[in-house]
């Protein structure tokens, strides 16, 4: 069945169409969630929450742009909500010494969703280790075992991710002040 027909059926609460939409988007949304969460159960819960929001907001989709992009934005917001709920003080933990500096005003403007966007701008391996350690609470030993790397390499990736995120935040502050 064509995606447009599935969407139309979902708008009419057709269970068959809802299942087809779920089966179509679940794998790609799960992949996206795993990038941030690292835990299959948490990622699946977030995908389910996001796809439920898709069903409830389907009438708001106006066939402008990519439907997949619209679904991704909704699921990404679900990721952001989960991260915000699970790690209220993440930004303070990640940038503890950075925040003590006089340039911490940029940090005060940083929310978890912004942090996730910045993580996408750093090298994947470092970003993944950062997420596993700072957000999901894995130890460096657990990360090393899961990723097939040494504990020292895990610590290096985490340190590099912090440095790069701090640099990106400072660049954002410079751009704010310049504008």
pLDDT at 178: 43
Residue 133 is given by DSSP the state I
d(CA 170, CA 107): 9
Note the pLDDT tens digit of each residue in 143-164. Answer: 899 889 999 999 999 999 989 9
Domains, the chain: 3-86 (1.10.1740.10), 90-178 (1.10.10.10)
H/E element, 79: helix 67-86
Distance CA 131, CA 142 (A): 13
Dihedral angle over CA of 116, 99, 152, 80, nearest 10? -20
**pLDDT tens, 92-121?**
444 444 444 434 444 444 455 677 788 888
Looking at every residue in the chain, the average pLDDT score rounds to 79
Q: What is the pLDDT of residue 112?
A: 59
pLDDT reported for residue 113: 62
Q: What is the rounded CA–CA span in Å between residue 129 and residue 153?
A: 10
Unique residue bearing structure tokens 């995606």: 3
Tens of pLDDT, residues 24-57: 999 999 988 887 777 788 889 999 999 999 999 9
User: 3-class SS at 98?
Assistant: helix
């Amino acid at each position: 069945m064509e995606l447009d027909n599935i969407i139309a059926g979902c708008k009419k609460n057709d269970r068959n169409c809802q299942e087809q939409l779920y089966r179509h988007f679940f794998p790609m949304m799960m992949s996206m969630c795993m990038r941030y969460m690292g835990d299959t159960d948490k990622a699946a819960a977030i995908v389910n929450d996001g796809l439920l929001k898709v069903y409830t907001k389907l009438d708001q989709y106006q066939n402008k742009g990519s439907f997949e992009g619209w679904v991704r934005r909704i699921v990404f917001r679900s990721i952001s909500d989960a991260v915000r709920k699970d790690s209220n003080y993440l930004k303070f933990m990640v940038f503890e010494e950075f925040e003590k500096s006089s340039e911490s005003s940029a940090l005060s403007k940083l929310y978890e969703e912004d942090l996730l966007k910045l993580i996408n701008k750093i090298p994947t391996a470092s970003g993944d280790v950062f997420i596993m350690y700072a957000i999901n609470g894995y130890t460096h030993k657990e990360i090393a075992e899961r990723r097939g790397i040494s504990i020292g390499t895990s610590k290096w990736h985490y340190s590099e991710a912090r440095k790069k995120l701090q640099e990106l935040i400072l660049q954002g502050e410079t751009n704010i002040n310049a504008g």
